[in-house]
Amino acid sequence: MQPIARTIESIGRELERYGHVAIAVSGGIDSLTLAALAHRRLGPRAAMFHSLTASVPAEATRRTRELAATFAWDLRVIDARELAREDYLANPANRCFHCKQSLYAEIARHTDVQVLSGANADDLSEYRPGLDAAREAGARHPFVDLGIRKSTIRAIAREVGLEGIAEIPASPCLSSRVETGIRITPPLLARIEAAELAVRSHVEAKAVRCRVRAKGIVIEIEEAVLAVLDEARRGDIAQAVAEIFGQAPTFAPYRNGSAFLVAAPTSRR
């Protein structure tokens, strides 16, 4: 048996331990791969829950719906209601804790089976307050429990028929683009999403972020692409973003998590 096949079998045995599961599917590579594995192994004993709110990129929802239709997943679209929580809207450094707390509570309103997330072993090296919410809610992370990293998840995705999304870049919720302490609102999230779509219409890059900062709008693009972006295209991008936000942006190389201003300890699972 090939190494990747052995890994898939190990995940399958881990899933079998829970009998029936509810997968929290964000629309990213990790949770979609876990959903595919759960469906293959558990069939009707696996349900997928995707939250449809203003903080979720439309592309993530489209991707989730398409895969669910293709593979006949039991997909349940819910509203995690995080935008109804003042402790989320205030955008503290642990905003993700309040988001995941709300998500897991909403899933629990629909089912009492074991909730699973697509968090992977790499996530343990970053500040992930959502893992604290998962621990509080009793949610589990099969990839973390088995020590599986992002690179392996991409290989698994290719193996189980998800070639089209195996290399998609990480794309966390739209609220992650907003500098800590700046209030989250649905109209602001809509403008962020529109700005990123506008940027992508002018440049091919895996990583594009529209950061909303106290000092203004910053368009982050992966460094190699930004370095060769000529003045004409920068001007076109700046104009497109200015039409959305009413102000011209500055440019910076993409940096993961750069909207967070408060250093915090690494979350424990």
Claim to verify: residue 106 and residue 191 sit in the same structural domain = no
Claim to verify: residue 244 and residue 178 sit in the same structural domain = yes
Claim to verify: residue 118 and residue 147 sit in the same structural domain = yes
Torsion of the alpha carbons at 48, 128, 30 and 176, rounded to the nearest 10: 90
Q: pTM (2 decimals)?
A: 0.92
For residue 121, count other CB atoms closer than 10 A to its CB.
18
* Structural domains of the chain, count: 2
Banded model confidence at residue 268, pLDDT cuts 50, 70, 90: very low
- Domain presence at residue 267: no
β-bridge mates for residue 216, sequence order: 213
Claim to verify: residue 11 and residue 93 sit in the same structural domain = yes
How many Å separate Cα 242 from the centre of its chain? 26
Which residues 6+ apart lie within 8 Å of 254 measured at CB? 207, 208, 209, 220, 221, 222, 223, 226
CA distance 154 to 158: 6
Instruction: Give the range of the structural domain holding residue 203, as residue numbers without chain letter.
Output: 174-253
**pLDDT score of 262:** 66
Claim to verify: residue 136 and residue 217 sit in the same structural domain = no
* CATH code, 71: 3.40.50.620
CA distance 105 to 89: 17
pLDDT tens readout for residues 6-39: 999 999 999 999 999 999 999 999 999 999 999 9
CA distances from 231 to 224, 225, 227, 236, 251 (A): 15, 13, 11, 9, 12
Banded model confidence at residue 1, pLDDT cuts 50, 70, 90: low
263 or 158, greater pLDDT: 158
Question: Mean per-residue pLDDT for 53-62?
Answer: 96
* CATH code, 242: 3.30.70
Pick left, alpha or beta for residue 12 (phi over 0 → left; psi -120 to 50 → alpha; otherwise beta). Answer: alpha
Taking the CA of residue 19 as centre, how many other CA atoms within 13 Å lie in the half-sphere pointing to its CB?
3
CA distances from 257 to 47, 53, 81 (A): 30, 21, 23
Claim to verify: residue 17 and residue 115 sit in the same structural domain = yes
Banded model confidence at residue 258, pLDDT cuts 50, 70, 90: confident
Claim to verify: residue 40 and residue 157 sit in the same structural domain = yes
